[in-house]
Amino acid sequence: MDIFSLEGRNAWITGAAYGIGFAIAKAFVKAGARTIIFNTRSQESVDKALEAYAAEGITNVRGYVCDVTDEVAVKALVARIHEEVGQIDILVNNAGIIKRIPMHEMTRSEFQQVIDIDLVGPYIASAAVIPEMMERREGKIINVCSMMSELGRETVSAYAAAKGGLKMLTRNICSEYGEYNIQCNGIGPGYIATPQTAPLREKQADGSRHPFDSFICAKTPAGRWLDPDELAGPAVFLASHASDAVNGHILYVDGGILAYIGKQPK
């Protein structure tokens, strides 16, 4: 099964301090990745993440402070990675935020912040690594999309707009750079049990389940929230030579939500 190996390859995973990015990083290490590179927006966050990696026995990791929305800083980081680590074989655009605010109550600046981090950030990072990938005629870019790349829902207008745009950015990178043997695909997680979704899973004051928790479990054929580690296999597949003929594809890891209309009311 050597086609699934990431032996000797360097992977830059944006925002991989915890949650989905952290789970993908652990999977890449198990698959043989040479170095994991991640960035966050503060040194405190970098330090905390490095401690978490060390606790997992992962030492081949480099953390940097960099805001993915700052084009100048991202280009400088890519140059620094090339100097200190080597070429970037795999880029995972994972950094993202969500603001759950009704659209008519959301300010333009709040909307723009989500777009900047969730959509413009992946564009900036991808544009920074693509030239070197073109020169080598090899590279993997994975964009962490969402079911909101396909569906809408109350209070997430900015997030859905950004993730829908990221789906199309994925397809366009495939279209524009596929001839250079660069594969750009997306992972569309379902509802994953991460710190970001923790407020939606909290017990109510009376001990009952959060209404959204009940809704998601009823809407998911698997009947549960998914674990970040369940993204490991799909991520390794898209980062490895096993997916060399897969390009412009969004792989939804959602427990079946997108295939399911939901249970009939009793």
Kindly write down the DSSP assignment for every residue of the chain, as one continuous string: -GGG--TT-EEEEETTTSHHHHHHHHHHHHTT-SEEEEEES-HHHHHHHHHHHHHTT--SEEEEE--TT-HHHHHHHHHHHHHHT----EEEE---------GGG--HHHHHHHHIIIIIHHHHHHHHHHHHHHHHT-EEEEEE--GGGT---TT-HHHHHHHHHHHHHHHHHHHHHGGGTEEEEEEEE-SB-STTTGGGTPPPTTSPPPHHHHHHHHHSTT-SPBPGGGGHHHHHHHHSGGGTT--S-EEEESTTGGG---PPP-
Active-site residue identified among 53, 123, 159, 177: 159
**Catalytic residue flag (residue 18):** no
Active-site residue set: 159
